[in-house]
Structure 1
Amino acid sequence: MSVEAKTSPNSLRQTPLHALHLDLGARMAPFAGYDMPLNYPAGVLAEHRHTRTAAGLFDISHMGQILLRPKDGVLTDAARALERLVPADILGLAQGRQRYTFFTNDTGGILDDLMVANCGAYYLLVVNAACKENDESLLRDSFSQNFDVEPCDRALIALQGPKAESALAHLAPDCAGMRFMDVRELSIMGKLCVVTRSGYTGEDGFEISIPSDVAREIAEGLLENPDVAPVGLAARDTLRLEAGLCLYGADIDAGTTPVTAGLTWAIQPIRRHGGERVGEFPGAPIILDELERGPAIHRVGLAPEGRMPVRAGTPLFVEEANEAPVGHVTSGGFGPSLGRPIAMGYVPTALSAPGTKLFAEVRGKRLPATVTPLPFVQHHYKR
């Protein structure tokens, strides 16, 4: 779609910032049922690098925001109920903090990955755009009449990069006291917003839930700062790939367990070892067995040789000669911060050690690729 093609198909939904994207000259594209900005006139590379050096502003309003609220006001009851759907320690999640987790199925696969924030009187769940209707149904089917499951009609933006704090502090000075994975209600330009210190780029930054009717006003207020530039989905993808972060539907899905995906850090010890809270979540026998014995396959980073990007779906081989593939690439492309191709994929655990030499078959040719530790670019969260 060209930059000039500013009309959206009627079947696509629009975020509260849609008109702003068009005014900024965004190249729009369909994503998860929404008409979303792919990139702006500066281009993907410039947007990527600006986020790494200053602050990028992303519209992520297509994602789902769901409130889980106990009608009797007892949040621990909601935590216990939620722990029957996810393997994270929700009971131990303090007020003003959030945690990454995933809904699992009976075979240990990941139905969706999400953020859960303890906002005091309720939990705020941020889920993937393509999964939000199913997630809402799962919650409604799993919770009793004692809980309200409320999808939020709010905008969601992400401000990411080393200058994100200074940019947001101009409008909300209290954000400077937040650390990684904190959540607070802050007044921004006179409007109450839910702010978390988190993101999907590996950089320090914030995700901000905003009343839809003032989303453009606040976004433009942030963009008045010369350190802040709009960034589209294309650069968001290259940033998260460099950070070694999973994309649902590519690197993880309903057939992928958290252990094979290398996400065991998101399963706290209290949900793994001893006590009545172990094994309550779907697929627990399979996931706990993999934690004890180790998985058969594992997600790894890959450093292809040369300049040709290795894309998702590319088969991986042990030898340069003909043989059956041993794995495949799930995400891949060019890493602008590194100036070379990078990729992630799944291989047998025996071939997952850094330094292992493999071959990626691209256009009928097998290109050398070396297993490398993740992330490709160091995270810069404010601990």
Structure 2
Amino acid sequence: MRMWARLLAGVRTPGVGFRASGGLLRVSGGAGWKQQHRQASSPEAALKKTPLYDFHREHGGKMVEFAGWGMPVQYKESHIASHMHTREHCSIFDVSHMLQTKVHGKDRVKFMESLVVADIAELKDNQGALSLFTTEKGGIMDDLIVTKTDQGYLYIVSNAGCADKDSAHMKARLAEFKSAGYDVDLEFLDEALIALQGPSMSRVLQQGLTDDLSKLTFMTSTLATVFGVPGCRVTRCGYTGEDGVEISVPQSRVVELTEKLLGNSDVKLAGLGARDSLRLEAGLCLYGNDIDETTTPVEATLVWTIGKRRRQMKDFPGAEIIVPQIKAKTARKRVGLVSTGPPVRQHTPILSPDGKIIGEVTSGCPSPCLKKNVAMGYVDAAFTKNGTTIQVEVRKKAVPATVSKMPFVPTNYFSG
């Protein structure tokens, strides 16, 4: 345990380093984080701030610049302690920096299906799906969750680092649809968003709900009053692999709601560091690291996000490239990796048993739960079978590794 504590000690998160600058910690390191990192001559003044920014600082949050926002990387407890608390109890994550959008109008489904790979038409009311914005070249522009609400709109949550790109993309398509006479409109929300994640989430949250939370299963959503705060959208989903919810809440009430949740001794605040190691143990992709416009859904092993009807119709961006890959396979594929010894980080070369470069790590960290290194990356097709023995090059030395099934730590999504 001590070795792993040393590896993860201090202000660290997988593939990312932090350093102090003008009273604020700055992000450096991983490419995905670099893409979302903006230098600023006046760090704090130039940053966008969530409605919980001051709250984080008051509670000991160590703030970093991420995707142009000032966000907490951790609090007074260590990264490991926060990670394990989420696995064993539950934690609050501020995800207000993410882009929340409503799509209105009778042609909203047709509009959204012109942009993403999901079969939105087949979703039931208040059911959501993980989907992908794809390019005409078959690359992934972003990953997002689309929820088909019973309130006459689609509710979309997409990544903070892609917010400008995503909003511009949707606006451009909106102009095309409107000029063609379709009934559709976009509304970009100014709500806060918090995630309550962990095995005790249901017990904690149920105390502040009149609705029966056992009826809200994984990837379903409802409007509710939460601990006296009306107008909250509660969606059972998350980025940790644990049972959890994301709660969209009016900005003016988010501090109040967060304080009420923290009134339960099972609940603690958690930051970006724990969120990243939790998602990696769960085998979940980070946009900019593990998926981007140079990777297709097939290469990224995200074929399951593409609706059956959509595959048959080939009516989503890049379908002419992506759909044939499903049968023909691809030259490379995203896989999980497990190793011992020195940590495996982003951009680590992946080697064949005889030392030839066969790929590259896209995310990696020491796993607090497993006490060994976990990573994901892309390798040549011949090396993708689970159990395949390969090597990773760490500090110019070849270290044994094994291709592993993901998730590395079993997920605990609530299916009823």
Describe the SS at the equivalent of 1:302.
Answer: strand
Residue type of the alignment partner of 2:229? G
Partner of 1:136: 167
- 1:201 partner SS: coil
Equivalent position to 2:193, from 150, 156, 174? 156
- 1:106 equivalent in structure 2: 136
Who is 1:242 aligned against? Answer: 281
Cα offsets for 1:293-344 (capped at 9, x unmatched): 11221110001132x11000011111354x4x11000000111011111100
CA contact (8 A) 2:311 2:319 kept: no
1:86 aligns with 2:111: no
Residue 54 of structure 2 aligns with an amino acid whose one-letter code is: A
Counterpart position of 2:155: 124
The letter for the 1-side match of 2:307 is Q
* Unpaired runs of at least 5, structure 2: 1-18, 26-42
1:115 correspondence with 2:145: yes
Number of the residue aligned with 1:281: 316
Conserved in 1, the CA contact under 8 Å of 2:24 and 2:64? no
Match of residue 318 from structure 1: 352
2:58 aligns with 23
Structure 2 residue matching 1:316: 3-state secondary structure: strand
Letter in 2 for 1:264: V
Aligned equivalents of 2:21, 2:412: Cα separation in 1: 33
Show CA shifts across 1:145-175 (max 9, x none).
3322111001000000000011111111423
Per-residue deviation at 1:3?
12
Q: How far apart in 1 are the matches of 2:389 and 2:331?
A: 19
In the TM superposition, what is the alpha-carbon distance from 1:33 to its structure 2 partner? Answer: 0.3
Q: Which residue of 1 aligns with 2:73?
A: 38
Which one is further off, 248-257 or 295-304?
295-304
Amino acid at match of 1:124: Y
Once superposed, what is the RMSD of the aligned Cα atoms? 1.5
Q: Secondary structure at the match of 1:319?
A: coil
What 5-or-longer segments of structure 1 have no aligned partner?
none
Paired amino acid for 2:188: P
Q: Secondary structure at the match of 2:167?
A: helix
* TM-score computed with the length of structure 1 as normaliser: 0.94
On the 8 A contact 1:3/1:27 being kept in 2, the answer is no
Shift of 1:66: 0.9
Aligned counterpart in structure 1 of residue 340 of structure 2, from 282, 305, 309:
305
Aligned position for 1:366: 398
Question: Which letter maps to 1:159?
Answer: L
Matched, 1:165 2:165: no
1:190-214 superposed Cα distances (whole Å, 9 cap, x missing partner): 3210110000000001000000010
Q: Which moved more, 1:132-141 or 1:154-163?
A: 132-141
The counterpart of 1:327, out of the listed 359, 375, 378, is: 359
Q: What is the Cα deviation at residue 130 of structure 1? A: 1.0
Task: Give structure 1 regions of 4+ aligned residues with deviation exceeding 4 angstroms.
Answer: 1-4
Structure 2 letter corresponding to 1:122: Y
- Identity across the alignment (%): 42
**Taking structure 1 as reference, are residues 380 and 219 closer, same or farther at Cα in structure 2, changes over 3 Å only?**
same
Looking at structure 2, the residues matched to 169 and 23 of structure 1 have their Cα atoms a distance apart, in angstroms, of 27
Q: CA deviation at 1:78?
A: 1.1
Which residue type is aligned with residue 107 of structure 1? K
